[in-house]
Amino acid sequence: MAEAEGFQRKQFAFAAHIRDPERVAAPEGIEDRRMAIYRDLFFNNLVRLLGNTFPVLSKLHGPERWRAMVRDFMTRHRAHTPYFLEIPREFLEYLEKTRGIQDGDFPFLLELAHYEWIELALSVSDAEDDLSVIDTCGNLLDAIPVKSVLAWPLSYRFPVHRISPSFLPEKPGDQPTCLVIFRKPDDELEFRELNPVTGRLLDLIAANDGDSGRGLLGRLAQEIGLDSDAMMQHGSDMLNAFRADGILVGTATDDRKQA
């Protein structure tokens, strides 16, 4: 038991030094040349992983500031998962809770980080549409339209999909930026920008508790003050475009309604 506890203490000392080598001494008895291999390996792998997940964010900060941010993440944040692909989600939590907003930060930092992370999150999601209770050719006006579980509506204050070194907005847009990311049958990911009306329609579909497409469009027409007949005409095109993209998988069958 004592031997096991001693080994565990060495593990903790090793990990603490890897996290923060400037302030935490290396465990005794390990040659610094060997220790340096582990220090560089862990840190550089993390810089590479996070840089690939957050390419725009890392580019905007530049190599020095980005590496400092990654080091601060290693030093201060305590991850709640051992899974490699969950590390970017931990980094997002670090930005939101551990680090927080600091002077000189881009005003869109958290939204851009979330937007870049969401691509990884959807790519590794194990969610699947249960097509056994979906009529893929169902009438989207008369029946209940069903959103794919692999289509995620997003709303941001800033136009995050346009941010680049040459476009750095200082204030939120006049209207929310509505997007949807969806995974196609071949696992390819695509983003679509939505206007406020189509974005609201998709929100209504996602939260729908039994209204037909016609009913949802009627509610939307009332919300925005549009003539019902005009909404039905334009709304039918919107619904069919959603289905063509795979954002909608079809309509609910009786089995799904009962479930």
Report d(CA 205, CA 184) in Å as an integer. 19
Element (H, E) at 135: strand 134-135
* Confidence label for 82 from pLDDT (cuts 50, 70 and 90): confident
Q: What is the pLDDT of residue 223?
A: 93
| Better-predicted residue by pLDDT, 98 or 26 | 98
Cβ 116 vs Cβ 59: under 8 Å: no
Is the whole model's pTM more than 0.75, yes or no?
yes
Query: Residue-wise over 68-106: b if at least 16 C-beta within 10 A, else e?
Result: ebbbebbeebeeeeeeeeebbbbbbebbeeebeeeeeeb
2-123 adopts what CATH topology?
DNA polymerase; domain 1 (1.10.150)
Q: Would you state the pLDDT for residue 121?
A: 96
Q: How confident is the model at residue 80 (pLDDT cuts 50, 70, 90)?
A: confident
Handedness of CA 112, 190, 131, 256 (dihedral sign): positive
The C-alpha atoms of residue 240 and residue 248 are separated, in whole angstroms, by 8
Question: Which single residue is written with the structure tokens 């959807």?
Answer: 122
Q: How far apart are CA 185 and CA 176, in angstroms?
A: 29
Residue 64: the pLDDT is: 95
- Residue identified by tokens 């870049």 is 116
Report the CATH architecture of 131-258.
Alpha-Beta Complex (3.90)
Per-residue pLDDT tens for 49-75? 999 999 999 999 999 999 999 999 988
Contacts of 18 (CB under 8 A, 6+ apart): 38, 39, 42, 43, 74
Q: With beta carbons less than 8 A apart as the criterion, state whether 58 and 50 touch.
A: yes
Structural tokens at position 147: 């959103």
pLDDT tens-digit series, residues 93-125: 999 999 988 999 999 999 999 999 999 999 999
Domain range summary for the chain, segments of one domain joined by +: 2-123, 131-258
